[in-house]
Amino acid sequence: MAKISSEEIILRYNDSVIRQSDLVTLNGPKWLNDRIIEFYFSYLSSFYPSKHILLVPPAITYWIMNCPDTNSLKDFLKPLNLPSKKLIIFPVNNNDDMSRADGGNHWSLLAYEKTDNLFVHHDSLGDMNKSHAKCLYNTLVPYIGASYPIPSYFEYECGPLQDNGYDCGLYVLATTKVICDWYDSYLKEIGHLWFSLVWEQVNTSTVSGLRKEILEVIKSMKGERIYDFSG
C-alpha cells in the first residue's frame, strides 16, 4: 500500500488540522494526541450547535492552565465568552513541561454545568489528573461568570475506568459525547446530571469502537482513500 509523508495534511475541518501521522493514534493501541481530540470536539460541536455549549480544544485548555500572566489570560479568554455558556468541557492533560508539545501521558475531562454552578472531573484512571484538574478549576473560577457563590468542584469517583494504559483520550471523547447528549435530553430539564448516562454508556466496548468510528468520519470528510503510514 502506498505511503505518504507523515506530516502531510489530509484534512482541515473548521479550525482543526489532521495530518497523516495522526491516523496512527487511531489504529491502536495508541494514546490519542491533541489533534485527534480537537478534531472530534469540533465534529461534536456540529451536532450540538447550541450557543450555550462550548467544547474547548486541548491547546486552549493547556494554555489556560499554564498561562503565567493573569492579565494576558483575561484577554485570551474574552473570545470564549465563558459567562454566556451553560455547558463547557475541557480536556485535561498532565503535561508539566511547556517546552514539549507532545508531553504528558494522561487525558481526563473537566466539565462545567452552569445551572448547578458545578465543575465535575471525570478521570478514567481514578485520580491521576486530580491536581491538574483542580489547578484548571482554580484558574477558571474568576472568569466563569459566577462570582457568588463560587462554583463547586466535584471528583466523579464512580465513573468508568479504563483497563489499559492508552485509552484515556477515548474515554474523554466518549464521555464528552454523553454529556452533550444529556444536555439535549429531558434529564437536564428535571434536574438530573449526566452521571447515570456516563455509567451506562461509557465502557470498554463502546470506547473500543470509537477509534474506528473517528477514522471513518475522517475518511468520509476527506472523500478519498487514506493511505496507511507506518514509518
What is the per-residue pLDDT across 147-163, written as a single tens digit (0 to 9) for each? 678 999 999 999 999 99
Residue 39 belongs to a domain: no
- Give one word for 20, left, alpha or beta, with left for phi > 0 and alpha for psi -120 to 50: alpha
In this predicted structure, what is the pLDDT of residue 98? 64
> Within 10 A of 224 (CB to CB), how many other CB atoms are there?
9
Distance, CA of 180 to CA of 174 (rounded, Å): 10
In this predicted structure, what is the pLDDT of residue 151? 94
Q: How far, in whole angstroms, is CA 86 from its chain's centroid?
A: 17
Residue 199 belongs to a domain: yes
The count of structural domains within the chain is 1
In this predicted structure, what is the pLDDT of residue 228? 41
Residue 5 belongs to a domain: no
H or E stretch covering 70: helix 70-77
Residues with Cβ within 8 Å of 205's Cβ and at least 6 positions away in sequence, in order, are none
- CA nearest to 176, candidates 83, 63, 84, 56: 56
Q: What is the chain's pLDDT, residue by residue, as a tens digit (231 residues)? A: 445 566 788 899 988 999 988 998 898 788 899 999 999 999 999 888 788 999 999 999 999 998 888 788 989 999 999 999 999 999 999 987 765 656 678 999 999 999 999 999 999 999 999 999 999 999 999 999 766 789 999 999 999 999 999 999 999 999 999 999 999 886 676 668 999 999 999 999 899 899 999 999 998 887 644 444 333
Residue 8 belongs to a domain: no
In this predicted structure, what is the pLDDT of residue 6? 63
Residue 31 belongs to a domain: no
Over residues 177-225, the pLDDT tens digits come to 999 999 988 667 666 899 999 999 999 989 989 999 999 999 888 764 4
Distance, CA of 126 to CA of 15 (rounded, Å): 32
Distance, CA of 156 to CA of 123 (rounded, Å): 8
CATH number of the domain where residue 129 is located: 3.40.395.10
> Within 10 A of 146 (CB to CB), how many other CB atoms are there?
14
Name the one residue in this structure whose C-alpha cell is 468542584.
153
Distance, CA of 102 to CA of 170 (rounded, Å): 17
In this predicted structure, what is the pLDDT of residue 99? 59
Are the beta carbons of 43 and 210 closer than 8 angstroms?
no
At 121, phi and psi to the nearest 5? -105, 125
In this predicted structure, what is the pLDDT of residue 192? 82
Distance in Å from the first CA to the final CA of the chain: 13
Residues with Cβ within 8 Å of 31's Cβ and at least 6 positions away in sequence, in order, are 25, 105, 166, 168, 169
In which domain, by residue range, is 155 found?
53-211
Residue 38 belongs to a domain: no
In this predicted structure, what is the pLDDT of residue 223? 62
- CA nearest to 60, candidates 107, 18, 105, 93: 93
- CA nearest to 166, candidates 36, 58, 12, 40: 36
- Catalytic positions are 106, 123, 168
Residue 74 belongs to a domain: yes
Residue 133 belongs to a domain: yes
In this predicted structure, what is the pLDDT of residue 79? 93
